[in-house]
Amino acid sequence: MLAGLFEYLQGSATVMSILDQFRGLFSSDMAIDLGTANTLVYVKGKGIVLSEPSVVAYHVKDGVKKVLAVGEDAKLMLGRTPGSIEAIRPMREGVIADFDTAEEMIKHFIRKVHKRSTFSKPKIIVCVPHGATPVEKRAIRQSVLSAGARRAGLIAEPIAAAIGAGMPITDPTGNMVVDIGGGTTEVAVLSLGDIVYARSVRVGGDRMDEGIISYLRRQQNLLIGETTAERVKTSIGTARMPDDGRGTSMQIRGRDLLNGVPKEIEVTQAQIAEALAEPVQQICEAVMTALETTPPDLAADIVDRGVMLTGGGALLGDLDLALREQTGLAISVADEPLNCVALGTGKALEYEKQLRHAIDYDS
């Protein structure tokens, strides 16, 4: 009887395996850059087909949540919602902070990209921060599987960023990549297709926005929201004090903390450079620590090749110059810094056999 049961279970497992392979024939395998600020989806053979903010908006009625909007539409609601609507960013510092919301978001993006029948199930590779714990990795994998993937692989963010930036990471030479995302900055030295040294610091675009908000609250008695802070950062944000001590300026609106009424003021680049001094210094220190820890032969290669900046934070004005002053190395910004991680994760999907050592499919 037991032998019969064992044969039945083996048979059913084989049937499930064959069914999964059959489903795979009808699916478009994907690579997802599940970022703190933005989620990008790469489809095998097509490239990046989706880039949307990592935000989900819920309508809450009698304690029951119903998804109202995801991505771009949900981001417009941040900081502007009535009591019945809740806008949530499920990713914090590169990992899932809200499991159920992240699952809903991934499901929405998969459905948006994968317009075939529900019968098909794609294989999905997701990038994760190097410093993610086993529990955080399991949460990401589980969310992707629950969202409809037949198989979920993970790849370390620095490897994906370096591949996306076109760095020759499979060569026996040292390559340094600094990936500045919304929640984390990943500093890594790579050689022979793997990580020799990596450090993940919890500082990125979000910390820069917080720096601008707290600076204006302290210095100008003005309270602004995250959306305004991000606009200031992308418009006039700089990592170095302008040569003329002022730089360009822009008008912003917020609430006056002294009398509680809306107010408009002018902010200058010099003020924003001061506001961003702390997060920029933390990024510089992370790079310096990596250089001090790198084996001498690889350090010599990095002197020759320089350092590559990727991620949205690499677009901060004069950040490459600030790092060059601190390290004395040649610092270059990738061609498409925002897309590097997604492109690298996509290439890992396209050239899976050559890069299988970098992809983790184990649970």
Tokens of 121: 């199930």
H helices of 54-118, in order, are 72-75, 99-113
The enclosing H or E element of 319 equals: helix 319-327
Residues within the annotated binding site? 36-38, 182-184, 230-233, 312-315
Residues within the annotated binding site for ATP? 36-38, 182-184, 230-233, 312-315
- Report yes or no: 48 and 339 within 8 Å, Cβ to Cβ: yes
β-pairing, 262-268 with 307-310? unpaired
Q: Which residue has the tokens 């996306």?
A: 164
* Cα-based angle 108, 114, 118 (whole degrees, multiple of 5): 85
Supply the DSSP symbol for 294. Answer: S
- Residue closest to 336 by CA, chosen among 163, 140, 79: 163
Got the DSSP string for 232-268? HHHHH-BSS--TTSS--EEEEEEEETTT--EEEEEEE
- Residue closest to 107 by CA, chosen among 47, 30, 46: 30
* Cα-based angle 26, 31, 35 (whole degrees, multiple of 5): 140
Residue 6's Cα: distance from chain center in Å? 45
Q: Which residue has the tokens 């949460």?
A: 139
The enclosing H or E element of 144 equals: helix 134-146
Report d(CA 65, CA 57) in Å as an integer: 10
- Mapped onto helix, strand or coil, the DSSP state of residue 297 is helix
Report d(CA 8, CA 151) in Å as an integer: 24
Sign of the alpha-carbon dihedral angle for 173, 174, 178, 183: positive
Nearest-10 crossing angle of helices 277-293, 319-327: 40
